[in-house]
Amino acid sequence: MARLGRRGFLAVAVIFHLIYAWSIFDIYFVSPIVSGMRPFGVDAPEPPARRLVLFVGDGLRADKAFQSFPDPSPPDDPSYDAETPRPLAPFLRSRVLSHGTFGVSHTRVPTESRPGHVALIAGLYEDVSAVMTGWKLNPVNFDSVFNRSRHTWSWGSPDILPMFKEGAVPGRIDADCYGAEEEDFTAEATKLDTWVFDKVKAMFEEAKKNETLHAALQDDKVVFFLHLLGLDTTGHAFRPYSKEYLHNIKIVDQGVQEITELIERFYGDGKTAFVFTADHGMSDWGSHGDGHPDNTRTPLIAWGSGVAKPVTVKKGIAPGHEDEFSSDWGLSHVQRHDVAQADVAALMAYLAGLEFPVNSVGELPLSYLDAEPKAKAEALLVNARGILEMYQVKEQEKMATEVGYKAFPDFAGDVNSPENRIKGIQATIDSGDYDKAITDCTALVQTTLQAIRYLQTYDWLFLRTLVTLGYIGFVAFAFTTIIDIYVLHSGTPMLRTTASTVAFSSILVALYSFLFIQHSRPTYYAYAFFPVFFWEDVFARRNVWVEGRKILLGHLDGTKAYLGFFAAVLLFAGVLEALAQSYFHREMYTICYLLGMAWPASYGFEFMKQHVVLIATWALSCAMMSTFTLLPAIKTESINLILVGGFLMFAVGALYLLLEKSILLDSKSAKGELAETKPDSLSRTILGVQVGLIALSMLVTRSSVTSIQARQGLPLGTQVVGWIVLVASLTVPFLHGLRPNNHYLHRLTVIFLTFAPMFIILTISYEGLFYFAFCTLVLTWVRLEHHVYRHRLATAVATVRAANGSAAPPSNGHALKSNGAATSTQQKEKEISGAFRTVTLADARISLFFLFLLNSAFFSTGNIASISSFSLDAVYRLIPVFDPFSQGALLLLKIMVPFVVISANLGILNRLLGLGQGVLGMVGVVMGDWLTVRFFWLVKDEGSWLDIGESITKFVIASMLGVFVAGLEGVGEVFVGGVEVATGGDDNVGATREEKAK
């Protein structure tokens, strides 16, 4: 393979990290869907109910459904005491107290609508990546309760209903949806629920006149599904503790009561079963998706035909409330029966007399059934046989492809075989020992689920080892490339031989043959390719390490020097570990920023005296940045904070516009850091437009927030102006190309003003203040790093002068080694012949700073454990109607802005330090993979849902940081293209202003 250049390396880095980021889904979250299973159903003379009604309150948290609150929408009655807390769902509460069984349904990650509804209706947990398919018409490719019904009528959101209709037997499911434009986050969302209730009422009214419809409704095994999206929409827009959300609970409760009474009157046979639950909960900041308990705990209430009545105690606390989660519900005397979300599908199938969905892994919750012990035992045995059938099909597939397959230990041998266990349980039922049969069935279900997991994790060790070797190989490959290009200047020959090529090719062929025999997924081949590719390249360029060591570590002489070097390595490792810990404790950033305030002091008093203003700015910027990770990630909308942030951005632009000439001229005269300084009238006009856009964005944001908070919706004019401001802010800066000013301070100011309107329109709280503080810090860091470099270079010059005993400076101080030792003229000429200076170990610290700032850019305003903490509220000012891809794109654009800013600053810093293009970012990517590998082994697919969600988030973020750096490298170069800076390698390097004046 030919030697890769910088662009080639970046391309490989992006492709590698994107592919390997997907590895956790291939390893930890494999789709459980298989086909070819036989359906199993309870064979009873008469099912518990002839029909089933499923209510799903989308986004309803369990606690909010049962807690008491002051009435959020009291009647217009002066005598009514609205402030006294009361249950907001009295009808559903009455079902809990007197008519049915209740509990908490625990969902899995991701807590999004599609996975939640699939678990409820199909009884299986899709792989985590399936969340993306829920935002478009993507029919379920597996069985469901609806598909097992004789007919299902459904009403609700166009995002949920069609996927079950299109994936079922044709004609079996009716789906009546409102238009997508009705999902307006800025308007009254309760209309979505009243629309559903009105449609149900209209259908039953129509049935009185339509004989065909009436006859269809009289059939058995029919299902009615009411999807109630209002709560989710209201929660996103106003938070689940708001009056709007609590009022929506009242609307849902009233509607459920009306529909229940309507259906009972229509049929009059008492043979209807009702189930009320939710697909997921909602966090306090109006988001969901991760594993926070507020998102994973949903209410479950069942009543009607076939459902057990409540179990109560007269004294003390009833079973099920041990976790104290429900201590303030006023229901402690009623037994609570918690279930896994997939169990609800099994419950509904049993109640309606349907066959269990063949893909279901749900366990029938017997405590919800009003049945004799014998019937419960027989039903649970049928449930167990259905789950066991899925395992056996999975096992046959695995045996057909796996080399040297080993069976699940608990099912090994004739005695423990599934068939023998089924026979034993049936014999126990026939003997009348129903309790033992139920116990044995429960054990068989749990064992079968473990066996299914065994099959899903069968290849874990092999795949995790392969991926780990890939990441370690990339680190070795990256360091080899960096040393080769930026230290040895691509001057070391490659030592690739026929024997080495054959050896590595043989390893790859062997891996591919193994994967082919096992019918592995296409991504597995990529996982196998990269380790071989990387390690072969490292082996072929092994001389790079030998020669690189001579240059990078050649100055180490003696035990003291080596101890100092290892101490520095340990310090680096400590900082990287601090970054890893920051993913668990955001306060780590605060500690690091406070410690970072003292960093300039390490260069001595003289350095600090020469740069008092710059160091003071650095300390102040660090202090400002240290506060953000102490602020709550759960933010509420504050127009005052938005406007304060906007005012600071406007002030920066206005001051620069007024003082541009003096700022640029002072910078040049002081430090020699710029080429072009002449302000231009056209350039100043464009700057004025950018500053004006900031002011306009403040006005339009204030108007939007006021209108939305008043529940008046988003005025079309305000929305249009908001889009105009956003688009103009991103396009007007390109006009600077007509009158380019190549001073780097000018360019960075333009970039700052470019994204300022975005951080006003798309912010809900202190994010604008963060943008101001972050940009100030990064610019100060760039200037400080430049002066540190010049200081070190001046120290080296002084050392050379002292060593030579001469006052004359060397021909070019730019070519000195980092330890200050003089280099030969030939060596200096060799380095000068390239476009950049040689990278030194001292530059690694700059990359570490960059990596820290990169992480801080993402997490200073968000919850480290949850990307969902980045609220969508601000997006409603531009896109009020539910459109996840467009809304997500806007949110991602805002999140990416700090990355763009720091990439542009890093590009300028590269030039100021005379380094090769992108080298600091490349080193940062390599350091970041320490976090990636660490979090890869911490990914969990079981345990608490919070742990699962956090583990996925941490790995994906750490892995994507490398992609961001590599991708934004090019973006940063576009932003700083044409900027001219002096590297500080002139003869007067290190001279003060007074010395230059003399």
Q: Can you give the pLDDT at residue 985?
A: 42
| Token code pair at residue 970 | 């090019």
Residues 631-673: pLDDT tens digits? 877 677 889 999 999 999 999 999 998 887 776 665 554 444 4
Q: Can you give the pLDDT at residue 868?
A: 43
| Token code pair at residue 971 | 């973006």
pLDDT at 987 over 60: no
pLDDT at 572 over 50: yes
Range 92-109 average pLDDT: 95
**What are the backbone dihedrals phi and psi of residue 156, each rounded to the nearest 5 degrees, phi first?**
150, -140
More confident residue, 863 or 556: 556
pLDDT at 101 over 90: yes
Q: How far apart are CA 163 and CA 159, in angstroms?
A: 8
Q: How far apart are CA 365 and CA 280, in angstroms?
A: 19
The residues, ordered by sequence, that sit 6+ positions from 699 with a Cβ below 8 Å of its Cβ are none
More confident residue, 306 or 899: 306
**What are the backbone dihedrals phi and psi of residue 177, each rounded to the nearest 5 degrees, phi first?**
-120, 150
Q: How far apart are CA 825 and CA 812, in angstroms?
A: 9
Q: Can you give the pLDDT at residue 969?
A: 63
Residues 711-760: pLDDT tens digits? 788 888 999 999 999 999 999 998 888 877 778 888 889 999 999 999 99
Helix (H, G, I), strand (E, B) or coil at 300: strand
Residues 910-936: pLDDT tens digits? 888 888 777 887 888 788 888 888 888
Q: Can you give the pLDDT at residue 736?
A: 84
Question: Which of 279, 21, 323 lies closest to 159 in space, CA to CA?
Answer: 279
Q: Can you give the pLDDT at residue 295?
A: 92
Report the C-alpha dihedral over residues 748, 750, 752, 757, rounded to 10 degrees: -170
For the chain, state the CA radius of gyration: 33
Query: What count of residues does the chain have?
Result: 998
Q: How far apart are CA 86 and CA 250, in angstroms?
A: 11
Q: Can you give the pLDDT at residue 532?
A: 95
Report the C-alpha dihedral over residues 76, 80, 86, 90, rounded to 10 degrees: -60
Q: Can you give the pLDDT at residue 912?
A: 85
C-beta separation of 311 from 102 below 8 A: no
pLDDT at 808 over 70: no
Alpha-carbon distances, residue 168 vs 153, 351, 787, 923 (angstroms):
13, 20, 68, 52
Q: Can you give the pLDDT at residue 988?
A: 36
Residues 456-495: pLDDT tens digits? 888 888 888 999 999 999 999 989 988 888 888 877 788 8
More confident residue, 908 or 810: 908
Q: How far apart are CA 998 and CA 273, in angstroms?
A: 95
Cα 434 to chain centroid, rounded? 47
| Token code pair at residue 980 | 């001219």
pLDDT bucket at 889, cuts 50 / 70 / 90:
confident
Q: How far apart are CA 745 and CA 763, in angstroms?
A: 26
375 CB burial (10 A radius; 0-12, 13-18, 19+): middle
Q: Can you give the pLDDT at residue 816?
A: 39
pLDDT bucket at 134, cuts 50 / 70 / 90:
low
* pTM confidence score: 0.75
Range 595-600 average pLDDT: 92
Report the C-alpha dihedral over residues 666, 670, 672, 678, rounded to 10 degrees: 10
More confident residue, 288 or 351: 351
Range 765-794 average pLDDT: 91
Helix (H, G, I), strand (E, B) or coil at 871: coil
Range 105-129 average pLDDT: 86
Q: Can you give the pLDDT at residue 695?
A: 96
pLDDT at 58 over 70: yes
Please provide the average confidence, as pLDDT, over all residues in the chain.
85
pLDDT at 1 over 80: no
Q: Can you give the pLDDT at residue 425?
A: 95
pLDDT at 865 over 60: no
Least confident range of 417-426, 754-763, 809-818? 809-818
C-beta separation of 673 from 909 below 8 A: no
DSSP state of 875: G
520 φ/ψ sector (left φ>0, alpha ψ -120 to 50, else beta):
beta
The residues, ordered by sequence, that sit 6+ positions from 521 with a Cβ below 8 Å of its Cβ are 26
Range 868-896 average pLDDT: 77
Q: State the alpha helices, DSSP H only, in 161-270.
A: 161-166, 190-207, 211-217, 230-238, 243-267
Q: Following DSSP, what letter does each residue of 610-665 receive, concatenated?
A: HTHHHHHHHHHHHHHHHHHTTS-SS----HHHHHHHHHHHHHHHHHHHHHHHHHHH
Q: Can you give the pLDDT at residue 654?
A: 93
Q: How far apart are CA 757 and CA 698, in angstroms?
A: 8
What's the sign of the alpha-carbon dihedral 867, 868, 874, 875?
positive
Least confident range of 197-206, 266-275, 676-685? 676-685
Q: Can you give the pLDDT at residue 678?
A: 52
